[in-house]
């Protein structure tokens, strides 16, 4: 070795030159640099695989000792910043299995797990499962949404799949399995959502008239008059209703996952709320109470406000097929109007009555004001137009007086 390489030798000393003697065993992460017979320099490094605990030996080559020392230092840096990814042979599919089992299943709701598992199984695994986790990059991912689009997947499906994969890889970054999330290279598909049309007041009255005679028709009336979600209505109990005060408390929701029913707490604090009841809502609950007593389902015996014939919780698919679709048709409401649109109908009626959007946010249980504003911006435009007309009329009246 030449004198000009003294600096490099001071960083990594070959085992044969070590002052500690030939009896010292080099520790993992300590490298050796030697000059080969062919004139090239070779560096060797032992690193412990964090996943298996086994030692792996790596070799790098260069034209100069300084070049090899630099390459060894780069390997050490990778070991420090991402110890599990350097030597890992994990595939994306294997990692996603662990993520679903150890993270999503433990920390998310069963419904969320079901949605994530479905998106990964149908729209991620068939194209990406065999990819090595450590070599996954933006360039490889870019072709994936394009392939989905050519196979007929909608923009909304592609967007949801990207979000699920992004969530999974965000966890991989936190675990230091990846230095960054390659999903950052993906553009979000533009989703054009259909504008939901709420019921006109006359249509709302026709629907309520059609519902009053049915055993559970008052659930539909209550949905239109309060904006409660279907799951919130299904889980509603008499202990949460105060007809004398004209209020009810939303504190639970019913969720159906893989055929199983589960009562859960609201996702956010905003979801747990007190909802004021108007005359129509109070009348609907009073009718339901009278029907419950006639059926032998007094609140003391059956706490659920809208039970099935056995006193248990309703199932969404059965309710839609056997009750909602029939009453909707009887009222002359088009099939394009879905049950959740009753929630929009309540917001529309409130806006038409001049209720502040912040009040509507609280009533519907939205966590963020922006959510309410974005959903009902088209309705706000109509309310603003009416307000402007009223202002003009006031000014004209004042002008005439003067």
What are the structure tokens assigned to 373, written together? Answer: 């504003």
Q: In this structure, are 235 and 285 located in the same domain?
A: yes
Asked if residue 299 belongs to a domain, the reply is yes
Query: Per-residue DSSP letters for 57-110?
Result: EEEEEESSHHHHHHHHHHHHHHHHH-TTTSS---BHHHHHHHHIIIIIHHHS-H
d(CA 197, CA 122): 32
pLDDT on residue 160: 95
Q: In this structure, are 207 and 283 located in the same domain?
A: yes
Q: In this structure, are 162 and 233 located in the same domain?
A: no
pLDDT on residue 18: 39
Angle, vertex CA 63, rays to CA 61 and CA 65, nearest 5: 80
Range 351-370 burial, b when 16+ CB lie within 10 A, else e: beeeeebeebbebbbbeeee
Provide the 8-state DSSP code for 23. T
Beta bridge partners of 44: 32, 59
Q: Which residues of the chain have pLDDT under 50?
A: 1-29, 83, 85-87
pLDDT on residue 392: 65
Q: Radius of gyration (Cα) for the chain, nearest Å?
A: 33
Q: In this structure, are 212 and 327 located in the same domain?
A: yes
Q: In this structure, are 75 and 103 located in the same domain?
A: no
Q: In this structure, are 225 and 126 located in the same domain?
A: no
Domain final position from 311, 333, 355: 333
Angle, vertex CA 343, rays to CA 340 and CA 345, nearest 5: 110
pLDDT on residue 286: 97
Q: In this structure, are 259 and 305 located in the same domain?
A: yes
Least Cα distance to 41 among 67, 14, 5 occurs for: 67
- Structurally, the chain folds into a number of domains equal to 3
Note down the domain range covering 71. 3-81
Asked if residue 355 belongs to a domain, the reply is no
- What angle do helix axes 341-352 and 201-211 make, rounded to 10 degrees? 130
pLDDT on residue 55: 77
Helix or strand holding residue 257 (H, E): strand 253-257
Range 304-330 burial, b when 16+ CB lie within 10 A, else e: bbbbeeeeebbbbeebeeebbeebbeb
d(CA 268, CA 286): 30
Q: In this structure, are 129 and 216 located in the same domain?
A: no
Q: In this structure, are 154 and 252 located in the same domain?
A: no
Domain final position from 297, 312, 333: 333
Q: In this structure, are 293 and 315 located in the same domain?
A: yes
Asked if residue 247 belongs to a domain, the reply is yes
Domain final position from 53, 81, 109: 81
Q: Are 214 and 323 in contact (CB under 8 A)?
A: yes
Least Cα distance to 331 among 211, 196, 198, 226 occurs for: 211
Three-class secondary structure of residue 47 per DSSP: strand
* 50-to-53, 56, 99 alpha-carbon distances in Å: 5, 11, 18
Asked if residue 344 belongs to a domain, the reply is no
Q: Are 229 and 266 in contact (CB under 8 A)?
A: no
Q: In this structure, are 215 and 266 located in the same domain?
A: yes
Query: Per-residue DSSP letters for 190-247?
Result: PP-PPPP-PPPHHHHHHHHHHHTTSTTHHHHHHHHHH---HHHHHH-BGGGEETTTTE
Q: In this structure, are 76 and 98 located in the same domain?
A: no
Three-class secondary structure of residue 298 per DSSP: coil
Helix or strand holding residue 33 (H, E): strand 32-35
pTM above 0.75, yes or no: no
Beta bridge partners of 62: 41
């Amino acid at each position: 070795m030449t004198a000009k390489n003294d600096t490099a030798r001071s960083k990594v000393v070959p085992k044969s030159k070590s002052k500690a003697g030939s009896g010292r065993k080099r520790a993992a992460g300590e490298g050796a640099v030697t000059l080969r017979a062919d004139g090239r320099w070779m560096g060797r490094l032992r690193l412990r695989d964090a996943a298996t605990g086994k030692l792996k030996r790596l070799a790098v080559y260069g034209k100069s000792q300084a070049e090899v020392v630099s390459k060894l230092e780069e390997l050490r840096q990778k070991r420090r910043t991402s110890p599990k990814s350097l030597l890992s042979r994990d595939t994306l599919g294997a990692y996603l299995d662990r993520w679903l089992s150890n993270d999503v299943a433990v920390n998310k709701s069963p419904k969320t797990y079901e949605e994530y598992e479905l998106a990964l199984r149908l729209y991620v695994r068939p194209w990406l499962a065999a990819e090595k986790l450590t070599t996954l990059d933006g360039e490889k991912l870019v072709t994936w949404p394009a392939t989905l689009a050519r196979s007929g997947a909608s923009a909304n499906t592609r967007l949801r799949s990207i979000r699920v994969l992004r969530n999974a890889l965000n966890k991989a970054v936190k675990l230091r399995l990846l230095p960054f999330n390659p999903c950052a290279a993906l553009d979000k598909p533009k989703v054009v959502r259909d504008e939901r049309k709420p019921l006109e007041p006359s249509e709302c009255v026709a629907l309520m008239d059609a519902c009053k005679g049915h055993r559970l028709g008052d659930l539909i009336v209550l949905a239109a008059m309060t904006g409660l979600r279907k799951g919130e209505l299904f889980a509603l109990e008499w202990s949460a209703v105060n007809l004398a005060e004209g209020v009810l408390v939303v504190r639970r929701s019913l969720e159906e996952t893989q055929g199983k029913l589960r009562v859960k707490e609201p996702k956010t604090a905003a979801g747990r709320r007190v909802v004021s009841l108007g005359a129509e809502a109070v009348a609907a609950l009073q009718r339901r109470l009278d029907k419950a007593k006639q059926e032998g389902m007094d609140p003391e015996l059956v706490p659920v406000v809208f039970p099935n014939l056995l006193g248990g919780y309703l199932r969404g698919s059965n309710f839609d097929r056997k009750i909602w679709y029939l009453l909707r048709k009887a009222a002359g409401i088009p099939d394009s109007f879905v049950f959740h649109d009753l929630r929009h109908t309540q917001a529309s009626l409130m806006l038409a009555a001049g209720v502040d959007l912040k009040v509507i946010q609280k009533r519907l249980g939205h966590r963020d004001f922006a959510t309410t504003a974005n959903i009902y911006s088209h309705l706000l435009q109509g309310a603003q137009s009416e307000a402007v007309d009223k202002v003009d009329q006031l000014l004209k009246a004042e002008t005439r007086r003067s």
